[in-house]
Structure 1
Amino acid sequence: MSRIEISCSPRILQAFIAAGAFVCGLVSSFTAAAAPVTYTMFVVTDVSIGGRFFHNANVSLKFVGDTNDIQPFNVTAPDGGTGSGFELTKGTASLVITNGTEYIRANFLPNQILVSLDKANGGGGFSALVGADRHLEPAYPLALDGSSIDNPASDLVTSRAYTGHAWSCIGFPPTGNTGCADPTAFPLKTNRGDFFIYQPYQDYYPDGTQGPISGSLNTGILSVTVKH
């Protein structure tokens, strides 16, 4: 059964388009048979949780939801850029940090993390609502662009794995040579304390400033597992 609805939610992954005001668009959604779905992202990077910092840790993020709750989005940014795809905001999110022999598991508190796929621009992953104003950070805590996720066949309802450039970027997409902002002011809340994820593997200009949007040197994996 299909339906037409108006989507005005700012809770979407705006891969490659500037943050700011959104213009609502008519989008069609398809009601499919409900099925549990798990999204898992993996990266090696620097993180902090509960005041403890870990360098080059194995980090796995997980979001568990239902395919019946996936919704389409269609947005226009102030600069005229557009994005469209699918988002899942209803579910539970958790993380695992493995550092040598140490294993730390934590659950994100509700209403922070969402999963999105911007088919128009070839990006997807875990986004967050952060700060006092609850604004969207499309590529934080972890999102991918390029490589196999930039594929017309990409979706959120088929079991498969994607790879791409890994971004943990406050202020994505970075403009000019400003790079990504320090995430310290935007903690993600967990049952183990405040969580931060950094982007240490970054291309730099000769003057020491961060490179533009293609500057991430890290690689991550996003897997989609649907139980029919």
Structure 2
Amino acid sequence: MLAEKRFDSHQGCADTRDLLEVEGLTKAFGGLMAVDGLSFHVKKGEIFGMIGPNGSGKTVTFECLSGFYRPTKGKIWFKGKRIDGLKPHQILGLGLARTFQALELLPDFTVFDSLVLAALHALPLHRAREKASELLEYLLLSPIRDHLITEITPPDQRILELGKVMACQADTVLLDEVMAGLTDVEARRVLSAVTSLRAQGVTFIVVEHNMEMLSQLCDRVMALHFGRQIAEGTPCDILRHKDVVEAYLGEEPSDA
């Protein structure tokens, strides 16, 4: 089953469909239900957040969206095409890419080389080099163009990860705890890069534990607990939601 198209009531009118649609997503590992009947949608140009305690199913959801795990049940549409049976490189070819919690650092590669290598997934060498140079300038990484990527600062490494997925010609990016381990100042640099790319039309789905940054960044947030959605809404609404507070803190929110 390759790139099955989504036919629904939106056809025949302006394309107002969701960019990403997830319906009844379930992923089980033996008797463990990591994701249980998850349904949500993301619109083009939106920044959509996912929160939840460790083990709530956030990263497993990302693995299913990007093709690294095949769902046990459920359907995923991206740009109107069914993708839950596709492989990672096929999904990347449609424009959906992801970053990882554990950064993949190639010790002998410079910042520029790393971007060129990523761009070669979609472009010939001469265009890949041009694309890498454009991204260096746009993401303010030109001063460290020739630095080895193992020698640059943590925020520069995270921004480089963003650059690599953009070099692959992705227009929708799954960010998996891209601000983890950063100071507030460093995290704000990454946040600035994300909002700058969003202004260029890039859509983001973000898993993040930094609640302050998430509330500044996201249009909508979905909260997960034990693989199930327990709430969805604006960041402000989610942070006050009774079930979300209980899941994070183990207590009911105060009436004060």
TM over 0.5, yes or no? Answer: no
Query: If each structure's strand is expressed as a fraction of its own residues, which one has the higher value?
Result: 1
TM-score normalised per structure 1: 0.25
- Higher Cα Rg, which structure: 2
Query: If each structure's helix is expressed as a fraction of its own residues, which one has the higher value?
Result: 2
